[in-house]
């Protein structure tokens, strides 16, 4: 099979590599024809600086050399593109498939129409979804040139996080974990409603965290992430105990939502009895311990563990678990 794809590839980034992965996957054992834009075509209406053709070709050859080790029976040919619809097989080459990014579907369809005018059969079109950066927006060369992200989609600018809470304990927990992942950080505390009862139970706990994250980001639209934290009660049928589990939800500019939770602990019978009266954990624990606003301080877990683990530490674990899919590429 002959597979074709084209572009400027400057700089060569993770989104481009997704195109090549698709091309090699469907074209293995055949030939991959890469159309690389000429200097004149690459410049076009762009205002950013574009590397010369020979440098872009050299970078591409280095990457393709590594790819061919994985696909040793697949040939690669780089051809200079001098016009948009010469990609580069519109007129001359019998190709079977065309691989394009999500935003180039129209060009792909137009290319097939152009081929028909020149007596060539239409190619099968393979659309590769945008590869997203850590902030949920597509990885694009312009964003890399502006130093917003690097070629792998990692955020280079100050990461702005909108945290949907009035609780400084939760705010510190988010800061403590996010600073382990991002070099520069700006946190904004945002007052939002959870959309669930004051003392959520079961699935409403997760909904509350997600609502807080979404609403916080909506109020701070230039933030990279919105974060919501919600603690709720879960009945475990195996032990017949009522567990407290804290959930964290993180959303981004691309509406990707990741959720994690911390460890659960069950409440003493006195607390459970009081909770049946439609009270919140905070109200019950403040009454039983004599500590006003305990949730804004050590939390129930701090009191019950004699400060071995505070609410801040418990929240940190939930935040970290929600960040896990954003830290490793295995979730891509």
Assign residue 324 the CATH number of its domain: 3.90.950.10
Per-residue confidence (pLDDT) for residue 87, from 0 to 100: 53
Per the domain annotation, does 95 fall within a domain? yes
Q: Give 301's pLDDT tier (boundaries 50, 70, 90).
A: confident
Q: Is pLDDT of 1 > 80?
A: yes
Q: What percent of the chain has pLDDT over 90?
A: 70
Per-residue confidence (pLDDT) for residue 230, from 0 to 100: 96
Per the domain annotation, does 147 fall within a domain? no
- Reported in sequence order, the residue ranges of the chain that DSSP labels E, i.e. its strands, are 2-7, 31-37, 75-81, 97-101, 124-128, 159-164, 185-190, 225-236, 241-252, 257-261, 265-266
Per-residue confidence (pLDDT) for residue 280, from 0 to 100: 81
Q: What is the mean pLDDT of residues 227-252?
A: 94
Q: Which of 53-62, 86-95, 107-116, 248-257 has the lowest mean pLDDT?
A: 86-95
Per-residue confidence (pLDDT) for residue 88, from 0 to 100: 52
Per-residue confidence (pLDDT) for residue 73, from 0 to 100: 93
Structural domain containing residue 260: 159-331
Q: Is there a single domain that holds both residue 87 and residue 203? A: no
Higher pLDDT, 248 or 294: 248
Per the domain annotation, does 83 fall within a domain? yes
Q: What's CA 45's distance to the chain center, in Å?
A: 30
Per-residue confidence (pLDDT) for residue 86, from 0 to 100: 57
Domain boundary among the residues 92, 110, 130 is at 130
Per the domain annotation, does 138 fall within a domain? no
- Predicted model pTM: 0.84
Per-residue confidence (pLDDT) for residue 89, from 0 to 100: 56
């Amino acid at each position: 099979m002959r597979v074709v794809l084209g572009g400027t590839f400057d700089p060569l980034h993770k989104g481009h590599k997704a195109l090549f992965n698709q091309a090699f996957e469907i074209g293995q054992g055949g030939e991959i024809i890469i159309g690389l834009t000429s200097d004149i075509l690459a410049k076009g209406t762009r205002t950013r600086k574009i590397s010369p053709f020979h440098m872009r070709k050299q970078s591409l050859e280095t990457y393709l050399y590594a790819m061919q080790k994985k696909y040793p029976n697949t040939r690669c040919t780089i051809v200079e593109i001098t016009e948009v619809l010469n990609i580069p097989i519109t007129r001359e080459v019998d190709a079977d498939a065309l691989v394009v990014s999500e935003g180039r579907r129209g060009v792909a369809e137009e290319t097939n129409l152009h081929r028909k005018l020149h007596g060539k059969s239409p190619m099968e079109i393979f659309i590769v979804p945008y590869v997203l950066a850590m902030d949920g927006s597509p990885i694009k060369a312009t964003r890399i040139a502006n130093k917003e992200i690097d070629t792998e989609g990692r955020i280079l600018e100050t990461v702005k996080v909108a945290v949907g809470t009035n609780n400084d304990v939760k705010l510190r927990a988010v800061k403590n974990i996010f600073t382990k992942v991002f070099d520069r950080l700006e946190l904004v505390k945002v007052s939002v409603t959870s959309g669930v009862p004051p003392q959520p139970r079961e699935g409403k706990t997760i909904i509350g965290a997600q609502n807080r994250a979404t609403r916080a980001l909506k109020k701070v639209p230039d933030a990279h992430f919105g974060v919501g934290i919600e603690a709720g009660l879960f009945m475990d049928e195996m032990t017949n105990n009522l567990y407290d589990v804290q959930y964290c939800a993180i959303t981004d500019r691309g509406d990707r939502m990741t959720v994690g939770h911390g460890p659960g602990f069950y409440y003493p019978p006195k607390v459970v009895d009081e909770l049946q009266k439609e009270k919140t954990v905070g109200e019950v624990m403040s009454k039983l311990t004599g500590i006003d606003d305990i949730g804004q301080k050590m939390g129930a877990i701090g009191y019950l563990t004699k400060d071995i683990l505070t609410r801040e530490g418990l929240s940190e674990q939930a935040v970290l678990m929600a960040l896990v899919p954003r830290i490793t590429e295995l979730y891509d």
